[in-house]
Structure 1
Amino acid sequence: WTGPEVRKCYQPITDYITDYSQFAADDDANGPLFFADVMKYHSIDDVTAQDMASNLLNVVPYEKGFFWWGGKGISTEHTAWLNLINHVEAPLSGSCKQNSKAVSEQIGGQIFSDSWGYLALDKPEIAKDLAEKMSSVTHDLDGIEGGKFIAVCISLAWNIHDTRELIHTALQYLNQNSNYARLIQEMLDFHLQYPKDPARCLAYIEEKHSYDHYEGLCHILPNTAIMLYGMLYGKNNFDLTMQLIAEAGRDTDCNLGNVGSIIAMMVGLENIDEKWIKPMNDTLLCSSSIGSKNITTISKSAYYFATLACRIHNIPYPTETVSKHSTDFSLPYATNGFQIETTRYHACNIRVQDNKLKICLDDILSNQEFKVYKHSYYRPQDVYDCRYEPEFAAILEPNDIIHCQLDNPEHLPLEIAIYIKGYSGKIYHSNFTQDLNLEYQPTINDIPYLEYGLIIRSQNRIQRNYFAVNQFEIIKHPSYQIDFSTLAIEDWGYDIG
């Protein structure tokens, strides 16, 4: 969408304009989460661009999902990937010499760089170096400068709490002779001259820095101009910054994602409105080549970046970190993707409080059943669209043991069972009980299991009360046979590219 098209239809944008329900996999999330894996095997000092390239080949499927496969000489990432599998090593794989200036300066150079800012902590020089190496795998010139800028801004945002100062400081880490650095200075100068006139700035960008001034399909600089506009005129406010960038159009998910990371690091979670967080329900779907890692949560990703940063900086951290197959409700909004069935016969809700998943029972009629559940596997009809063609392995498999620990401080008249939903849609469950420690080991071969959770049965009417889930854990003991002739081919529809 162009800026005028967005504003014509949707201005003002103060919230999500589409109810995505479950948001699909997206390249802007895939890259930061999976490219960081390389640091599990290398130190800051010894990691090379080719190490990062090898990791990219490990986590990116063969011309499917993850990012845009638009063809050689068109899609930057596709072009660089073809170079790598044909033994052209990084950084030559992403170089202007190998791929052309137009291809090497498209927006992908910066959209995956958030993770290097997270992992660098408050050390912008490290953020710059890591981002430069990773961006060089696929990009060159201003494509690399963009990667450096995003990572450095996130790192600086640990200690700098004004966007103009942040941008000015980050500029010092870039190649001052690059067009990227010149654009930053141009936008700083414009803001200095017209500090209270965002409309004038946007009009200037739409005239001077539209796509038709640049080569390629999605050049980095027209989008960087929009990002700088939002940061400079957003008054250090997350909501206003998001609104300005969304209403400016162009590559909105990339621009909002990068700037969202920067501003969020600067202002902290406590200064981000719940309206941006709760619809995500702490769920993150990905489309790497590793199906078992493609269904995760935002809270687990936060733990992942935090523990990985501690490890590479030699900072002590708790050794008992969150297991891949257990829940942890200690972080704000960390629902771990759990949902709840609610109707006029059983009105209820969930929230995270006191390190528990609190099940708030507004009004539950007698002898009603409802479910608290999460997805073990996603089918195409479960997500908003097919973008980046995710491939999933089910979280729960036959013979795994499900363990759940509950808290019922009000001694509510409830009977509870652990259940699973098979691929056929049939429900299987343990015996109903009032015990607070539940365990269930499903063996049925109705695979893949689509969801798992709790069935709650009220013995009497319950109003204005609650119980809680302390822990939900899967102990992995998978043992089963797969007859592929009985499995449907999941149709994810049209792909990107």
Structure 2
Amino acid sequence: MGLPHSELADRIHGGWLGRVCGNMLGKPVERGDYWTRERIDRYLRRTGALPLTDYLPEPPPDADEGEFELRPEWRQCVRGRIHGSCRDDDVDYTILGLHLLQTHGFGFTTEQVGDAWLLHLPFLQTFTAERAAYRNLANGLKPPLTATHDNPYQEWIGALIRADIFGLTCPGDPHRAAGLARRDAVLSHTGNGVYGAMWAAAMISAAFTANGPREAIDTALERIPASCRLARAVRHTIALHASGTPWSDTLTEMAEQTGRLGWIHTVPNAAVITAGLLYGAGDFTSTIALTVRGGLDTDSNGATAGSVAGVLCGAAAIPAQWTEPLEDRVRSAVFGFDGVRISELAERTVRLAADSAGRLPPAPRADP
């Protein structure tokens, strides 16, 4: 990898901060079937928040009933009201993954991932594929049956949102990061659900050494089957951006191509993340703002794009309007971690990253 320790620490801290900031930005409008791109931008225009350069503002006082239905937690994650981050599974799984690596090392098994869920994560704070897998674990099933038994969400975005920690602890080694993410993902996902996790982990890992977001995305694509739907959607998004297609038109075309899969499926969300990173052009604020304005699973997408952008620029370069309201604290449902400092999570991650080199056997490339 070759990064000086101080730069490595700053970039890992940037990845953590970016994830939390992006998650908090997207959380009030997380419901892709209601919060379409058009509704999100209408909200931003009504509140004088375009261009979007800060957390979402409060709802306009003259809004009609039912016009803008924010999530119940909105009062904890709009500008002027944020005092530390609110709890969210997009951050819980990053924390739990960190604990997993600290407890079992880089040779952890998929069964140990399941044990960590049962021991440290409340059942009612899991959703879709994770809840199905948790239920299967509690009923005595073992991987890979935990992912396939009575689980209609196998290709949804859940495994992708768990992948950050594997990229952060394998800086500059996307092959290793993807292998770790795969071992975690198969507890609850199959197919593109697994590939999404591998792609996200590899992209975050590649961001430590990449010359911008395009290089990180391209490197991550090498870690998943070229013929899978996820890879095809990401490549299509790249091609539209390279051709000079405007951001909004790119998302319209990708929605036409992938929208039938639903707003929580990995593939359409990967297109939104890719567009946010490419059109954001390495600028942290533009990246998370465009990603969240892209709709679908807004908090998850903002978090992943924020991780990549945060690693690319480092913590010191993230504008203060994003980081200061967090007060270096996160709420978490992971037992023992509620109220933990973000800087402490970053420090633990730095130690793991420094210890990781050469301690993991090569991971097999996933089959299509």
Residues 80 and 138 in structure 1, CA contact (< 8 A), matched pair in contact too: yes
Q: Distance in 2 between matches of 1:176 and 1:208?
A: 17
Offset of 1:272 from its aligned partner? 1.4
Higher relative contact order (CA 8 A, sep 6+): 2
Offset from partner CA, 1:116-139 (integer Å, 9 cap, x none): 101112211110111001111111
Say which structure is richer in strand: 1
Q: Paired residue for 1:198, among 244, 247, 256?
A: 247
* Aligned residue type for 1:60: L
Deviations 1:95-127 (A, max 9, x none): 3xx245x41011112011111101112211110
Structure with higher Rg: it is 1
**Is 1:176 aligned to residue 248 of structure 2?**
no
**Is this contact kept in 2: 1:163–1:232, CA < 8 A?**
yes
For 1:58-73, list aligned pairs within 5 A: 58-61=119-122, 63-65=123-125, 67-68=126-127
Amino acid at match of 2:333: S
Pairing partner for 2:111 from 45, 50, 53: 50
Which residues in structure 2 correspond to 1:156-171 (within 5 Å)? Answer: 156-171=206-221
SS in 2 for 1:205: helix
TM alignment of 1:89-488, pairs within 5 A: 89-95=142-148, 98-100=149-151, 102-194=152-244, 197-210=246-259, 213-214=260-261, 218-288=264-334, 290=335, 292-313=336-357
Following the alignment from structure 1 to structure 2, what is the Cα–Cα distance between the partners of residues 136 and 202?
29
> Could you tell me how far apart the structure 2 residues matched to 1:276 and 1:309 are?
25
> Could you tell me the TM-score, scaled by structure 1's length?
0.57
Task: Provide the C-alpha distance between the structure 2 equivalents of 1:99 and 1:233, rounded to a whole number of angstroms.
Answer: 39
**Percent identity at matched positions?**
26
Q: Structure 1 residues 242, 43: closer, same or farther in 2, change over 3 A?
A: closer
| Larger helix fraction of residues | 2
Counterparts of 1:141 and 1:114, CA distance in 2? 19
Write the distance in 2 (CA, Å) between the matches of 1:233 and 1:206. 17
Answer yes or no: is the 8 Å Cα contact 2:204–2:216 preserved in 1: no
1:40 corresponds to: 102
Distance (whole Å) between structure 2 residues aligned to residue 206 and residue 179 of structure 1: 14
Q: Give unpaired runs (5+ residues) of structure 2.
A: 1-34, 45-49, 57-77, 360-368
Tell me the amino acid that sits aligned with residue 33 of structure 1. I
Q: Deviations over 1:410-442 (max 9, x none)?
A: xxxxxxxxxxxxxxxxxxxxxxxxxxxxxxxxx
- What amino acid sits opposite 2:237 in the alignment? M
Instruction: Give ranges in structure 1 of 5+ residues lacking alignment.
Output: 69-74, 316-497
Question: What CA RMSD, in Å, does the superposition of the two structures yield over aligned residues?
Answer: 1.8
Counterpart amino acid of residue 285 in structure 1 = R
One-letter identity of the residue aligned with 2:339: I
SS in 2 for 1:278: helix
- The CA distance in 1 between the partners of 2:261 and 2:124, in whole Å, is 28
Equivalent residues of 2:146, 2:187 under 8 A apart: yes
SS in 1 for 2:104: coil
